[in-house]
Amino acid sequence: MESKYKYIVVEGNIGAGKTSLATKIAKDYNAKLIPEQFAENPFLPKFYKDPDRFSFPLELSFLADRYQQLKKEMANPDLFFSFVIADYYYMKSLIFAGRTLKDDEYKLYRQLFWITYESLPKPDLYVYLHVDTSKLIENIRKRGRKYEQNISEEYLLRIQKGYFEFFSQNPDLRYLIIDVNELDFVSERNDYDKLTDIIFNFPCNRGMNRIKIDK
């Protein structure tokens, strides 16, 4: 399939299914996948046990890792793929840091973020999978990552709020916000087809575009 977008980002809260969707689209549509390398971050399990102590080194390490990965992957386009799809966007770093860091730490972090952000390519389409926090908790429990099991709905709500604040404050990108609460796009082919049809064919304008997909 020839995509009208050359760089698509699939994002969402923790447990929304963004990696599953991006991986499936990459396979089905011959796209180059850029997956988030969070599993390799040594500070992540420590952060969930002691957020106050490990939030700053965690966010700094994520910032450095994401910048290096995106800079490398986007520098050399691969002609064998139709487009690029990533299961995260760089601004995710700022959103999570804003919910975990103290004020003085966040002020320094923001300076570093904006210095590096300007040098990275911006996506043609930003897909945000919106899922209610109660279902996110259910999804997190099912996938069974030990260090995630104490994540609270309150924390997920703060992250969700951070995403929407960023969208409203940075309207130059195309944000396609899709309510997927009623879909099982991992197991149900029809649900997946509905979702991909919206992603590739919906006439998306700059700023926030909201859609709810029903069964």
Q: Which residues are designated catalytic?
A: 87
> Residues 166, 172, 173, CA angle at the centre, nearest 5°?
75
Sign of CA dihedral 180, 185, 189, 192: positive
What strands, in cross-sheet order, belong to the sheet with 7-12? 32-34, 84-86, 7-12, 125-130, 174-179, 207-212
Beta bridge partners of 211: 178
Q: Which amino acid is at 85?
A: I
Query: How many DSSP H helices and E strands does the chain contain?
Result: 8, 6
